[in-house]
Amino acid sequence: MLSYLPYLLFLAAMPDPAEQAALNRISAASMRANLSFLASDAMEGRDTPSQALDIAAEFIASRFRLAGLEPVTGDSYFQKAAYALVTSDPSDFSLILSSGAESVHVTRDFDLQTLSAIELTSVPLVKLDSDTPGDLSGKAALIEAPNRENFARFQNILKAAQLAHPAVILMLSSPKGVRAVSTRLVSASAKKVEASPVISIRDPAIETFLAANPVVTVSVHSRAAAQRPVEVHNVAGVLRGSDPLLRDTVVLVTAHYDHIGILPPGDGDRINNGANDDGSGTVSVIEIADALARMPRHPKRSILFMTFFGEEKGLFGSRFYAAHPLFPLKQTVAQINLEQLGRTDDDEGSRVGSATLTGFDFSDLPAKFAAAGKLTGIRVYNNEKIGDAFFARSDNQSLADAGIPAHTLAVAFEFPDYHRPGDEWQKIDYDNMAKVDRMIALGLLSIANSIEMPQWNANNPKTEAYRKAAAQ
């Protein structure tokens, strides 16, 4: 006798008419209109901080208001954060690496991150290749820059080095993003507790010198950085849950609305528009929020829609939220972070009709979106090659560190024009993005309407730290 159970389960998972109507409201044309503004040249690449970023925040808040989301900080959609903007002064910079009678001077292709002046003479250099650095007091720590495969390991080594407070951290940097002048954010409440200065260098002569000389000392001279106070904002609106028992629990749906601003003076287009990274995630948060908010009966759990500042500077907005949550973290059941949903021309091939999540085997959340994908015609798959490596590279990491099951959902991890002026709104596949967002919306409804809470995968050793954080 044939079993009809699989077919019955499939029918039970199908969206009901109200849910299907919500999915149908997700509009490619609407996202195209929103993104053509957020990623326009007038927005100057939405650097953190900048007037353009503040304008973007106002625009997102207006969309949340139009959708009918409730503000969660009084009558405001802004979560305010006070920082200091630190700008290095390389005008009198000197870095010398020495070994016996030989030495090499760094005069170009460096990035300086420090608050105070640096004056070091012949301190020993220690190369770090593990997250147990030992005593680094009075020493210079050397760390190699990450690639996509070892980014999480690099972060662990860098974090361990910073906790050991060496005199200076030297980073052998990749070819991208090394400038003589660095601007960065420092928490206004913690800026007096200064971290070790970091100097990124990219010079083949340095690598050759270090390879030939196992014992090296470092001398550094630099001026103090300039500082000024700035205020930046996460933008948040909540769709209140309908179930009296579950409405106080929250599903967090996020994207970062900042990008990397304008390139230094030079020829050609210098505006990094950030349409795919992460304007696509931002307009998707807006579009999904609008679609679900118009349902006659809201999902059982509350859904907090939020866009973060400062992801490109080092996950600043999400780390600020994890430290200052608008809803208790113990009542936050999951975070789905949306990144790079609009480009289907992945460096590894076409991604039309598909999506993936970082850390696919870290929790049971990806399976829920895979099930939603089967119902909406989107293949949700595990990118086994680089999916785990990208887990630490976006705002899901901040909430995962707090113990909340959290993943980033993306269409393309790497694509042409990444962090370049060519990442423009005209190159987005809006029809495909709308289909992916319908899958995301259905997956969110499944999570928000379920009595069961998402769980970390206890059989995956990579989740041990997150499970410990959840248990605290």
pLDDT at 219: 97
Residue 364 has pLDDT above 70, yes or no: yes
**172-181, 199-208, 234-243, 361-370: range with lowest mean pLDDT:** 172-181
pLDDT at 152: 73
pLDDT at 22: 96
Residue 404 to residue 201: CA distance in whole angstroms: 36
Residue 341 has pLDDT above 50, yes or no: yes
Looking at the chain, how many residues does it have?
Answer: 472
Confidence band for 189, pLDDT divided at 50, 70 and 90? low
User: What token pair was written down for 464?
Assistant: 């041990």
Is the model more confident about 179 or about 46?
46
pLDDT at 1: 44
Q: What is the DSSP letter of 460?
A: -
Confidence band for 131, pLDDT divided at 50, 70 and 90? confident
Q: What is the DSSP letter of 324?
A: S
Confidence band for 177, pLDDT divided at 50, 70 and 90? very low
Q: What is the pLDDT of residues 370-402, one digit of tens each?
A: 999 999 999 999 999 999 999 999 999 999 999
pLDDT at 8: 41
User: What token pair was written down for 307?
Assistant: 């866009």
Q: What is the pTM of this model?
A: 0.89
Q: For 33, phi and psi rounded to 5 degrees? A: -65, -45
Q: What is the mean pLDDT of residues 322-341?
A: 98
User: What token pair was written down for 384?
Assistant: 């086994």
Residue 180 has pLDDT above 50, yes or no: no
Residue-wise DSSP of 330-361 = GGEEEEEEE---S--EETTEE-TTEEEETTTT
Residue 124 has pLDDT above 60, yes or no: yes
Q: What is the mean pLDDT of residues 459-465?
A: 97
Which domains are delineated in the chain? 5-84+229-471 (3.40.630.10), 89-224 (3.50.30.30)
Q: What is the pLDDT of residues 210-263, one digit of tens each?
A: 989 999 999 999 999 998 999 999 999 999 999 999 999 999 999 999 999 998
Average pLDDT value for the chain: 92
The burial of 23, by beta-carbon neighbours within 10 Å (0-12 exposed, 13-18 middle, 19 or more buried), is given as buried
Confidence band for 190, pLDDT divided at 50, 70 and 90? low
pLDDT at 151: 72
Report the DSSP beta bridge partners of residue 350. 345
Confidence band for 195, pLDDT divided at 50, 70 and 90? confident
- Percent of the chain past pLDDT 90, that is, above it, reads 77
Q: For 213, phi and psi rounded to 5 degrees? A: -130, 100
- Cβ partners under 8 Å of residue 144, min gap 6: 154, 171, 172
Residue 395 to residue 308: CA distance in whole angstroms: 8
Side chain identity at residue 299, one-letter code = P
The burial of 127, by beta-carbon neighbours within 10 Å (0-12 exposed, 13-18 middle, 19 or more buried), is given as middle
pLDDT at 104: 93
Three-class secondary structure of residue 37 per DSSP: helix
Confidence band for 9, pLDDT divided at 50, 70 and 90? very low
Residue 195 to residue 163: CA distance in whole angstroms: 8
pLDDT at 89: 87
Nearest to 140 by CA among 117, 160, 165, 174: 165
pLDDT at 174: 60
Report the DSSP beta bridge partners of residue 253. 305, 336
Q: What is the DSSP letter of 279?
A: I
366 and 407 in contact (C-beta within 8 Å)?
Answer: yes
Confidence band for 342, pLDDT divided at 50, 70 and 90? very high
Confidence band for 310, pLDDT divided at 50, 70 and 90? very high
Confidence band for 149, pLDDT divided at 50, 70 and 90? low
Residue 60 to residue 49: CA distance in whole angstroms: 16
272 and 419 in contact (C-beta within 8 Å)?
Answer: yes
Which run of H or of E encompasses 23?
helix 17-24
Alpha helices in 179-329 (DSSP H): 204-212, 280-293, 311-314, 316-323
* Residue 454, preceding peptide bond in cis (omega within 30° of 0): no
Alpha helices in 377-421 (DSSP H): 396-401
Residue 13 has pLDDT above 80, yes or no: no
197 and 169 in contact (C-beta within 8 Å)?
Answer: yes
Q: What is the DSSP letter of 90?
A: -
